[in-house]
Amino acid sequence: MDGRESVADKPRSGRPCTSKMDENVTKVRALMRYDQCLTVRMIGNKLNLNHQTIQDILTEELGMRKICAKIVPKNLTNKQKENQRNVCLDLLECIKNDENFFKHVITGNESWIFEYDPKTKRQSLEWHTSNSPHPKKARISKLKIKSMVICFFNSQSVVHKEFVQQGQTVNKQCYHEVLE
C-alpha cells in the first residue's frame, strides 16, 4: 500500500517504551524473591506498571512461569526420613532371610460402609405349592445405615473384621481393644 516493500518498522516519533527497563526488571526480580505467590496484578499495583508489562518481564526477561505446588501427604523431617529408610532396610533383610515373610504380615484398616439388604433374588428362593402366592423381592438398595468396620487381613484373606459400635471413636485405644 504506499509502495512499501519492506516489512521492517519505520522510525516513529515519540518516546520509546521504558516499562521493561533494567530498573523495572530488577524491581520485579526482587519482589519475586520476597514472595513467589504474588500475582501479576499485585506486582503491577505495587510497581505502578500495567499487567502485560509485568507478564512480559516475568516470562521473557526472568524466564519464569506459574507452577502449582505438588500435594504430598506431609513433609517429613530428616529424622523421619532416616527412620523410614531404616525400617525399609530391616524389611529387606527379613525378606532375604525368610521368603514367606509377607505371608505372615497382617495389616488393618477402617472404613465406612453402607449396609445392604443381603438377600439377592436367587438367595430368596423358597419352596411353594402351585396355589401359594409367589414371594416378592425388591431390588437391592442401600439402606440409610452407615457403619464403620475395622478389617485385618494378610496376603491371603481377611483375618478378622469387626463392626465399630455407633458413636465409638476409632483411635489407639479402640485398636488396642480389638487386637486383644
Task: Please indicate, yes or no, whether residues 132 and 68 belong to a single structural domain of this protein.
Answer: no
Task: Please indicate, yes or no, whether residues 40 and 72 belong to a single structural domain of this protein.
Answer: yes
Query: Per-residue pLDDT tens for 103-118?
Result: 888 888 888 887 665 5
Let me know if residue 62 belongs to a domain. yes
Let me know if residue 61 belongs to a domain. yes
Let me know if residue 33 belongs to a domain. yes
Closest residue by Cα to residue 106 from 171, 62, 161: 161
Of 27, 49, 83, the position where a domain reaches its end is 83
Task: Please indicate, yes or no, whether residues 162 and 118 belong to a single structural domain of this protein.
Answer: yes
Q: Is the pTM of this model over 0.95?
A: no
Q: How many domains does the chain divide into?
A: 2
Q: Which residue has the cell 527497563?
A: 21
Task: Please indicate, yes or no, whether residues 174 and 110 belong to a single structural domain of this protein.
Answer: yes
Task: Please indicate, yes or no, whether residues 68 and 23 belong to a single structural domain of this protein.
Answer: yes
* Cα 123 to Cα 64, 138, 180, distances in angstroms: 65, 13, 36
> What percent of the chain has a predicted confidence (pLDDT) above 90?
10
Task: Please indicate, yes or no, whether residues 108 and 175 belong to a single structural domain of this protein.
Answer: yes
> Tell me, what's the pLDDT at 85?
94
Let me know if residue 11 belongs to a domain. no
> Tell me, what's the pLDDT at 138?
58
Of 48, 83, 118, the position where a domain reaches its end is 83
Closest residue by Cα to residue 43 from 64, 22, 61, 29: 29
d(C-alpha 137, C-alpha 156), whole Å: 35
Task: Please indicate, yes or no, whether residues 109 and 165 belong to a single structural domain of this protein.
Answer: yes
> Tell me, what's the pLDDT at 84?
93
Task: Please indicate, yes or no, whether residues 76 and 117 belong to a single structural domain of this protein.
Answer: no
Let me know if residue 91 belongs to a domain. no
> Tell me, what's the pLDDT at 65?
83
Task: Please indicate, yes or no, whether residues 78 and 28 belong to a single structural domain of this protein.
Answer: yes
Q: How many of the other CB atoms lie within 10 Å of CB of 20?
A: 16
Structural domain boundaries, residue 157: 104-179
Residues in the chain: 180
Let me know if residue 136 belongs to a domain. yes
Let me know if residue 133 belongs to a domain. yes
Let me know if residue 3 belongs to a domain. no
> Tell me, what's the pLDDT at 90?
93
Q: Is the pLDDT of residue 6 over 90?
A: no
d(C-alpha 2, C-alpha 4), whole Å: 5
